A and B are shown apart, each in its own frame.
Chain A
């Protein structure tokens, strides 16, 4: 398997623009997680899905953030409108089951909002 795939790897945009980040989990994994990593706050869980259904979105910072998982092999994280403080690395991870199971991380999308 190719592992968790994220696109784009880098995104530079201007404040106010819409940003869409994409993730393809490992085939067969039933959990998908979106994380944000910043110097100030470390690694934060934003939202996670189980079998394509959002389970906990309490980590989503604001209504400007939304995430979808239309099928088992694809998820998006959207920021609209984007702000400079959204600049961070966004990681997607997937796992088969939870609790004891290892989460496999994608390479991340480095987002810079000017």
Chain B
């Protein structure tokens, strides 16, 4: 079964700092990868996704993620965070053509950006 591991439960940054949130997955086959964001009091929204092509994926609000197949990783990055990026970030994986048709989520990383 596939699994997703997010390295940090909590991250605290000052505005303008650079962000990198780690995500590793375990599955031997081809995967689709997602980052979702949950702003305080709101529901989950898609930030970006990868399923083929360029391993560097750009999403909304200046976020990007790089799929490194050899490392089973899909880390989320942003060069300069803003206070409004305070939210919980979830990495998720869905295995292609494996019989699995569900999204497996990581436990999430809570990002707090101080002004």
Which residue numbers of A lie inside 8 Å of B, CB to CB? 31, 33, 42-43, 45, 48, 50, 55-56, 91, 93, 98-100, 102-108
A54, B98: Cα distance in complex, Å: 18
Known: A99-B96, A105-B43. A42 touches B106 (CB 8 A): yes
Q: Show 11 residue pairs from A and B whose CB-CB distance is below 8 angstroms, ordered by the A residue.
A: A33-B102, A42-B107, A45-B103, A48-B101, A48-B102, A91-B43, A100-B32, A100-B96, A103-B46, A105-B45, A106-B43
Contact with A along B82-97 (1 / 0, CB 8 A): 0000000010001111
* B contact residues vs A (CB 8 Å cutoff): 32, 34, 36, 42-46, 49, 51, 90, 94-97, 101-108
Given contacts A45-B102, A45-B103, A55-B101, A99 and B32 within 8 Å (CB-CB): yes
How far, in whole Å, are A108 and B43 apart by their CA atoms in the complex? 7
Q: For A104, what are the chain B residues with a Cβ–Cβ distance below 8 Å?
A: 46
Instruction: With A43-B90, A45-B102 as known contacts, state yes or no: A102 contacts B43, CB within 8 Å.
Output: no
Contact A105 B103 (CB under 8 A): no
- CB-defined contacts of B105 to chain A, threshold 8 Å: 42-43, 45
With A42-B106, A43-B105, A56-B102 already in contact, the answer to whether A102 and B96 are too (CB < 8 A) is no
Q: Is B34 touching A102 in the complex (CB atoms < 8 A)?
A: yes
| Chain A binding surface, main DSSP class | strand
Cα(A55)–Cα(B103), bound, Å: 14
Return chain B residues, CB-CB under 8 Å to A42.
105-108
Residue of B nearest to A41 (CB): B107
Q: Which residues of B contact A106 (CB under 8 A)?
A: 43
Tell me which residues across on chain A come within 8 A of B43, comparing CB atoms: 91, 105-108
Q: Of B45, B46, B101, which is within 8 A of A99 by CB?
A: B101
Question: B90 — which chain A residues lie within 8 A by C-beta?
Answer: 43
